[in-house]
Amino acid sequence: MNKPDYLAPQTLSEALETLERQADGIHIIAGGTDLVPRMRSREVEPSLLVDLRLLGLAYIKASERGIRIGTSATHTDILDSDLLAFHCPALGEAAADIAGPPIRNRGTVGGNLANASPAADLAPPLMVYDAVVVLEKKNETRKIPLVDFFTGPGQTALLSGEILTEIRIPAIPPNTTSRFIKLGKRKAMAVAVVSVAARLTLDDAGKISQARIALGSVAPTPIRARQAEAALEGQQPGEDIFAGAGQTASSESSPISDIRASGDYRKKIVEVLTRRALVAAWKEQEG
């Protein structure tokens, strides 16, 4: 592979100024678990790597409005966080399914999202928690819902000179449970054939006041199954209504056929996994 220049800025301002001066040929490197293999295959040939590891972005902390996750936090950091285990268990379930320990120790939340793979494991659970991403540019900060961050396979809403610095999860309502389920070709080290995250919030009468369903590997980007969500809200939870939500979520997906599975198979699996994720979240509330 080519030998790019390397910069490890110690402040965010230094990183942003570098991006503003020299946008062409710059690649942000976080854990490098995706970028380095792509460089080895000459799929990308950056002239400068800007390493974010010294910027102090490897945090997971509570705030007055919810939870803040710095984009340099690793998958292992997610697994080790008691805060996320209590409030956002589906995120930990997704992180546990990513590759093996060496990759989890280096791979970052920001890298997983900015890579914009339709199969990104962390995207569906973060989407069901209504996550917002913080994008910073010199003298400018933008906040957009994660669901709007992905614009196509490998494409995001990041503008030239911007860095994804933080993910913010709003406060989770009471009586909320969530689940993440992933189907791969094997039990470990697998890219998702289909992944589903589901979140249910029940009101005092036991009805579904808020539902969230997000799907991975079944469209050009990770998506929310908004019609299925709408069909659930205001309803009494139960096996039949969850089965119907699975069918609706399947109809909202648009998977392709590739070496991992056919599009028809993926649509059927969306139906099955959505139902299972919803039932699992509901059973936890009952328990």
Closest to 54 measured CA to CA, from 15, 25, 27, 80: 15
- Average pLDDT rounded to a whole number, residues 125-129: 98
* Statement: residue 24 has pLDDT above 80: no
The rounded percent of the chain whose pLDDT value lies above 70 is: 98
What is the model's pLDDT at position 285?
A: 85
Q: Which residue has the tokens 């205001």?
A: 234
| pLDDT 10s digits, 192-242 | 999 999 999 999 999 999 999 999 999 999 999 999 999 999 999 999 999
Instruction: Please write the tens of the pLDDT for every residue from 63-115.
Output: 999 999 999 999 999 999 999 999 999 999 999 999 888 999 999 999 999 99
pLDDT band with cut points at 50, 70 and 90 for residue 145: very high
User: What's the confidence (pLDDT) of residue 37?
Assistant: 87
pLDDT of residue 30: 86
Q: What is the pLDDT of residues 173-197, one digit of tens each?
A: 999 999 999 998 776 667 899 999 9
| pLDDT for the residue numbered 169 | 98
Rounded to whole angstroms, the Cα distance separating 268 from 239 reads 17
CA distance linking residue 198 with residue 208, whole number of Å: 13
pLDDT value at 159 more than 90: yes
Place of tokens 């793979």: 117
| Residue showing tokens 């659930």 | 232
Q: Which of 132, 126, 141 is nearest to 168 (CA)?
A: 132
| Tens of pLDDT, residues 246-275 | 999 999 999 999 999 999 999 999 999 999
Predicted confidence (pLDDT) at residue 43 exceeds the cutoff of 70 = yes
Give the confidence band of 1 by pLDDT, cuts at 50, 70, 90.
low
Neighbouring C-beta atoms of residue 141, cutoff 10 Å? 11
Q: Give bridge partners of residue 212 from the DSSP assignment.
A: 199
**pLDDT value for 221:** 97
Determine the Cα–Cα distance for residues 78 and 223; give it in Å rounded to an integer. 22
CA angle 255, 261, 264 (to 5 degrees): 50
For all residues of the chain together, what is the average pLDDT?
94
Q: Where does the pLDDT of residue 142 fall: very low under 50, low under 70, confident under 90, or very high at 90 and above?
A: very high
